[in-house]
Chain A
Amino acid sequence: MATVRHSKKACAVNPLKMSQPIGGALAFMGLADTMPILHGSQGCTAFGMVLFVRHFKESIPLQTTAMSEVATVLGGFDNVEQAVMNIYSKSRPAIVGMCSTGLTETKGDDVEGYLKLTRQRHPELEDTALIYVSTPDFKGAFQDGWAATVLRILQVLVEKPAAPREPARVAVLPGCHLTVADIEELREILESFGLDPVFVPDLSGSLDGHVPEDFSPTTIGGTRREAIAALGSAGLVLAVGEQMRTAAEWLGQHIDAPVQLFDRLLGLGATDRLMAFLADHSGRPVPTKYRRQRSQLVDAMLDGHFYTGGCKVAIGAEPDLLQGVGQFLAELGCELAAAVTTTDSPVLEHLPTEEVLIGDLEDLEAGAAGCDLLITHAHGRQMAQRLDIPFLRMGLPIFDRLGAAHRLALGYRGSRDFIFEVANALIAHGHEPHPDDWRTSDAPEAGAAAAVA
């Protein structure tokens, strides 16, 4: 059991946290033929766009209502209407997804009302879904924006079942800590049990770095609006990450389907639970390839425990990522010496450490001194250099390495690879013994040597 403590500082130093609206924007990017917009000043969008471009190394569809000072004071109706119509006339997207920002929340724009009015004034928008989410920058963090947006997407798009129920269809709600590779792995697992998963949202179709034939200003892949609308007939709601609980429960109730939430899918026990559940739900045995992969993971644990046992780790991550990585590392014998996160979550108090701090990378740096391994997003690079400890990049953004979207840390295979990554980082930073390594500081020889030097 961990105590959750909030940092009392007035000044955040080296932020770990990113804002809600861009978490929401990323969720919209997992829908097909969609344009996400931030309702705020131009910079809100520019910063988010640059961040995603650096992480995914892809073109990022993201627009702005370009609120000026005057427009903010007078209210943003004109800008909202113009933004929607400009996007509509340029690219006729299936979905326009709008997130608020701190600026327009402070002013108190009634965006739902604005969108209703925009629709009334422009009947041609009939076939375009307009989805609005409230995501103020001054509250919560990235994963909260993602979670709120997924809930809104479901509330607006999922229709009550008209067709008969399709038991094999599964609505899968992945948290924002899952990468493109994680989603692909989970899809493959579900399909191998004869299930038909629909991911909401699905970044594996839109931000997986493929080369499309044509240029598109909107998303180039992701879950289609019709597929989400048809989720009313799904036989199961499966969510990954505590952040998806509200959305999963809402959907389960709305379509009258059972809900299964996995707080993580990293690690032997966690993946076992997934496999057992799927075997039970589908009535099919666990496929041979997963039996073999499980055995490989067990072997990796045997090989890796020499390195991970007693290893002191400092982690800075959003709650669900922290939960998955932290729990698995503890299962491998690591000690969570410092855990820093961005926002409140029920998972935090269950972490196997004394204290979880809602804070920044300065706090993490203080706790990471003397650790054997640092795990956080790319912004940890300066700290790792200062502390001279091995550094494993996890989360978003990872802007100084390639392939961030394709890093797998889910299921038996992902868990196996994760162990190798951790152990190899520790090995690479290996320390050659030195004659004076075991000399105690109060020994006379050490003092004499220092005096001579």
Chain B
Amino acid sequence: MSTLSSTVQNVFNEPGCGKNQGKSDKERKKGCTKQLQPGAAAGGCAFDGAKIALQPITDVAHLVHGPIACEGNSWDNRGAKSSGSLLYRTGFTTDINETDVVFGGEKRLYKAIREVIDKYDPPAVFVYQTCIPALTGDDIDAVCKAAREKFGRPVIPINAPGFVGSKNLGNKLAGEALLEHVIGTEEPEVTTPYDINIIGEYNLSGELWQVRPLLDELGIRILACISGDAKYSEVAQSHRARAAMMVCSKAMINVTRKMEERYGIPFFEGSFYGIGDMSESLREIARLLIERGADAELMTRTEALIAREEARAWAAIAPYRASLAGKRVLLVTGGVKSWSVVAALQEIGMEVVGTSTKKSTAEDKQRIKEIMGEEAHMFDELSPREMFRILKDAQADIMLSGGRSQFVALKAKMPWMDVNQEKHHAYAGYVGMVEMVRQLHLALTNPIWGQVRQLAPWESTTLTLDSPVAADAASTAQVEAA
């Protein structure tokens, strides 16, 4: 455990972290171990976070060492897409029993690794530590090392048992495992001055593929996306990129910053959400690559592409503007989405009545203020009851959030749209923005709203199907169609 706790400390000391920059040395030493509140806590654990960050590496076998809860209750629940191998969608777990708890589960783990390699022949196995084996003292580092030597292929320990902290800490511990065991262990066949890494992008619903064609057109190669639609060898070779774009700073800042430190790969933080931010990201990629040796004409081509794509996107969005302009949005999400989605919504004339910042960094919050003004309604902690009240009182027309709070909106009979990991639509890049606008329009103008808000005929004698009140309710929902 001593190595784990020093890794945790190391991650907490991350100098690139916006929160850390505002802290004194003493505060920084204390780390970020904010106690979770028993009975009032929500969200995933460190293991959850590690799995989220790494599972999008598609050809790896992800083996969870623990009791059935950790994998059996959770596998097959993420929408990261793959252009090749589907092995990442197979659930592997040691499903430890009482005997393993009493006598240790190292032998079972070793055998499990062998079974996985024999049957599925993956280029690498990632072994995730969970609470119980961490508590009983199973040394997964040693087991992985022995397996690596015996089976002649990478077996990577991911030390992020749930009880060390939050999902976010788990994202970073996963990054540490990549830095320690994967990145820089293989060499690419060829390198070009147009090679970039994209870090902290998971290709949910295929969002990376909304961006990739534009980079292809510019001749820019994604050497590795960490970790969306990635193959093991791409991550292993990613240290040869010329520049990097960090998509989610909360999750992977340690990877991005340490790759700059170790391999001299400069980076910027950008977003693929929203037309303006997308263009800005393309410019930054081009600028960094030119700085590192790419031909200066890249910028000319980039600007031409931006001009073309922006014009296309605005033309596609124009028909929706009338029905969306002025509509009020309650945004309940975190991290990079808290500001990048705000910017996107404002581009089409929607009003953001409030945004949650629970998972946002100081920098994220600053950006929100820049975009929304000093009086921005930022909620650090927005309870479901409060969300329900805001919606029920019609202070917002729609809520955008992750799947777990969707029913708060729906039970208030208000439109809701998923902007989180389980969402079924992809919203990145110019085409994604058009899709997001289309989905917003569909959510807000669906004819059900007029019907579901009506009382049953027997609940009030004055309300019948064609009463003036009902007709009014129906008409507010039937916003002018595109």
Give the interface of A toward B (CB within 8 A). Answer: 9-15, 17-19, 21-22, 37, 40-44, 46-51, 53-54, 57-59, 63-69, 71-73, 78-80, 82-87, 90, 101-103, 106-107, 136-139, 141, 211-212, 214-215, 217, 360, 378-379, 382, 399
Contacts and interface: CB of A to CB of B under 8 A. Distances in A.
Given A17-B95, A64-B36, A139-B97, 4 more contacts: A42-B45, A68-B36, A106-B136, A138-B68
Interface stretch (B22-30, B157-165, B312-320): B157-165
Interface in B97-114: 97-98, 100-101, 108-114
Contact of B162 (A17, A41, A360): A41
29 contacts: A10-B109, A10-B110, A10-B112, A12-B72, A12-B91, A12-B95, A13-B116, A15-B72, A17-B72, A42-B41, A42-B43, A43-B44, A43-B45, A47-B48, A53-B407, A57-B407, A66-B38, A68-B164, A73-B135, A82-B37, A101-B69, A106-B132, A106-B136, A136-B98, A138-B67, A139-B97, A215-B411, A360-B95, A378-B76
Interface string B63-88: 10011111111111100000000100
Interface of B: 33, 35-48, 63, 66-77, 86, 89-98, 100-101, 108-116, 119, 131-132, 134-136, 161-167, 384-385, 388-389, 403-404, 407-408, 411-413, 422, 452
Contacts of B411: 59, 211-212, 215
Contact of A15 (B93, B112, B385): B93
A82 B38 contact: yes
Nearest to B391: A215
B116 A11 contact: yes
Q: Which of B38, B46, B96, B134 has the most CB atoms of chain A within a 10 A radius of its CB?
A: B38
Nearest to B93: A12
Contacts of B45: 41-44, 46
Q: Which of A9, A48, A73, A102 has the most CB atoms of chain B within a 10 A radius of its CB?
A: A102
B404 A49 contact: yes
Contacts of B100: 138
A421 B68 CA distance: 31
A48 B68 CA distance: 12
Given A11-B115, A48-B73, A68-B35, A59 B407 contact: yes
A37 B38 CA distance: 10
B72 A19 contact: yes
A106 B112 contact: no
A124 to B, nearest CB: 15
Contacts of A68: 33, 35-36, 163-165
Nearest to A82: B38
A128 to B, nearest CB: 13
A399 B48 contact: no
A397 to B, nearest CB: 9
A72 B135 contact: yes
A102 B35 contact: no
A87 B411 CA distance: 22
Contacts of A69: 134, 161, 163-164
B136 to A, nearest CB: 6
Contacts, number: 223
Contact of A138 (B33, B97, B113): B97
Q: Which of B70, B72, B86 has the most CB atoms of chain A within a 10 A radius of its CB?
A: B72
A382 B88 CA distance: 12
B213 to A, nearest CB: 27
Contacts of A43: 44-48, 70, 162
Given A15-B68, A22-B69, A215 B39 contact: no
A106 B91 contact: no
Contacts of B36: 42, 64, 66, 68
Contacts of B166: 42
B69 A47 contact: yes
B74 A50 contact: yes
A382 to B, nearest CB: 6
Contacts of A17: 68, 72, 95
Contacts of A10: 94, 108-112, 114-115
Contact of B73 (A22, A79, A378, A382): A22
B382 to A, nearest CB: 13
Contact of B69 (A106, A107, A137, A360): A137
Contacts of A107: 135
Contact of A9 (B76, B115, B163): B115
Nearest to A80: B38
Given A15-B72, A53-B404, A79 B115 contact: no
Contacts of A84: 39
Nearest to A48: B73
Nearest to B407: A59
Contacts of B114: 10
A215 B408 contact: yes
A256 to B, nearest CB: 36
A4 B456 CA distance: 54
Q: Which of B74, B95, B412 has the most CB atoms of chain A within a 10 A radius of its CB?
A: B95
A206 to B, nearest CB: 13
Q: Which of A59, A67, A107 has the most CB atoms of chain B within a 10 A radius of its CB?
A: A59
Nearest to A16: B72
A393 to B, nearest CB: 13
A47 B75 CA distance: 9
The 7 closest A-B pairs by CB, nearest first: A43-B45, A86-B39, A83-B39, A11-B112, A10-B111, A83-B38, A19-B69
A86 B40 contact: yes
Contact of A87 (B39, B73, B385): B39
A13 B76 CA distance: 12
B372 to A, nearest CB: 27
Contacts of A66: 35-39, 41
Given A9-B115, A41-B45, A217 B39 contact: no
A71 to B, nearest CB: 8
A137 to B, nearest CB: 4
Q: Which of A47, A48, A59 has the most CB atoms of chain B within a 10 A radius of its CB?
A: A47
Q: Which of B73, B74, B110 has the most CB atoms of chain A within a 10 A radius of its CB?
A: B73
Contacts of B109: 10
B94 A72 contact: no
B377 to A, nearest CB: 20
Contacts of A103: 131-132, 135, 162-163
A86 B132 contact: no
Given A43-B162, A47-B70, A83-B38, A13 B90 contact: yes
